[in-house]
């Protein structure tokens, strides 16, 4: 099942490769759950799904709690009247100011489907600032949301950074980490999906935490770009290399195949 959100770096197209590397376990932890493609297409008894993006986790929690009722509530934001530029910016401002959990969750879905290129971008003040996308008829992902809501009954969601999330791991768990990727070039960094950053120091810290969990008998699978830096920090892991066509760039020339790798610590 495809995720109901558009998400930069989503893993739906490489699920087969990820599933081949994921060990069995009683619970899957995802410290960077993103659009939830791995969660939706694996079959662990339980899941612990976290992300540093509070708006994303709020949406998942409201959908988990209200299911079909929330899906129908969201439908009201997918009309010809709401697919106009001036209305988009009015609703974007409303999203940035509302304190209503349910309204904010529905507006996050609306902005994701109506905003430019599916980007999730915030300014320095923490305000969502993706521009209008100009789509003829944005898709309302009803069946995908209903599937997510059913599967979410097996999951616990939390807004945590990766350190806090990985601290929740215990024997019997498996961890899959899909961090913001190391950029392939200085202009190819698309990680502003939450306030704060994820730089090279965080990449190294994540690799150290993965190795530590593996030493405790908790396997950790990570995905990233295939660069010399990544190979160095993931040394000691079992590495799998392949090519993936990237779809983040709005320029056709920026959608070429890029080297990607999976690194399995333990397992």
What does the pLDDT read at residue 246? 61
What does the pLDDT read at residue 198? 86
Question: In the listed set 85, 113, 143, which residue is the last one of a domain according to the structure?
Answer: 143
Neighbours of 82 (CB within 10 A): 15
- Residue 65 in domain: no
Q: In terms of domains, do 180 and 239 share one?
A: yes
pLDDT mean for each 10 residues of the chain (267 residues) = 93 94 98 98 98 97 98 98 98 98 98 96 96 97 98 98 97 97 68 61 97 98 96 96 68 64 94
Q: In terms of domains, do 47 and 164 share one?
A: yes
What does the pLDDT read at residue 191? 43
- Residue 60 in domain: no
- Sheet order of strands, 257-265 included: 155-159, 46-51, 27-30, 173-177, 220-225, 257-265, 238-245
What does the pLDDT read at residue 252? 47
What residues make up the domain containing 204? 12-52+160-265
CATH of the domain at 100: 1.10.1020.10
- Residue 227 in domain: yes
Q: In terms of domains, do 221 and 98 share one?
A: no
What does the pLDDT read at residue 58? 98
Q: In terms of domains, do 35 and 100 share one?
A: no
CATH of the domain at 224: 3.40.50.150
| Total tally of structural domains belonging to the chain | 2
Q: Are strands 155-159 and 46-51 parallel, antiparallel or unpaired?
A: parallel
To the question of pTM greater than 0.85 for the whole model, the response is yes
What does the pLDDT read at residue 183? 87
- Residue 151 in domain: no
Question: In the listed set 85, 109, 143, which residue is the last one of a domain according to the structure?
Answer: 143
**What is the four-CA torsion angle of 175, 179, 183, 188, rounded to 10 degrees?**
140
Q: Among 37, 45, 24, which Cα is nearest to 178's?
A: 37
Query: Vertex 189, ends 183 and 193: CA angle to 5°?
Result: 125
What does the pLDDT read at residue 255? 52
Q: In terms of domains, do 43 and 164 share one?
A: yes
């Amino acid at each position: 099942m495809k995720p109901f959100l558009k998400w930069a770096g989503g893993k739906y197209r490489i699920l087969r490769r990820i599933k081949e590397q994921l060990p069995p376990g009683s619970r899957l932890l995802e410290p960077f759950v993103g659009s939830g493609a791995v969660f939706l297409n694996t079959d662990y008894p339980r899941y612990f799904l976290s992300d540093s993006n509070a708006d994303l986790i709020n949406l998942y929690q409201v959908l988990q709690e209200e299911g079909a009722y929330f899906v129908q509530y969201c439908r009201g934001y997918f009309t010809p009247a709401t697919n106009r530029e001036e209305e988009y910016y009015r609703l974007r401002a409303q999203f940035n100011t509302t304190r209503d959990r349910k309204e904010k969750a529905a507006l996050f879905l609306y902005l994701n489907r109506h905003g430019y290129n599916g980007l999730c971008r915030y300014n320095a003040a923490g305000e969502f600032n993706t521009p209008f996308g100009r789509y003829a008829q944005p898709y309302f992902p009803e069946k995908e949301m209903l599937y997510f809501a059913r599967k979410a009954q097996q999951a616990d969601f939390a807004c945590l950074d990766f350190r806090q999330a990985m601290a929740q791991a215990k024997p019997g768990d498996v961890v899959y980490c899909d961090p913001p990727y190391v950029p392939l070039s200085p202009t190819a960094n698309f990680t502003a999906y939450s306030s704060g950053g994820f730089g090279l120091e965080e990449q190294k810290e994540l690799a150290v935490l993965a190795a530590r969990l593996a030493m405790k008998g908790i396997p950790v699978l990570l995905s990233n770009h295939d660069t010399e830096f990544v190979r160095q920090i993931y040394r000691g892991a079992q590495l799998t290399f392949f090519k993936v066509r990237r779809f983040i760039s709005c320029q056709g020339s920026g959608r070429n195949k890029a080297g990607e790798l999976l690194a399995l610590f333990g397992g």
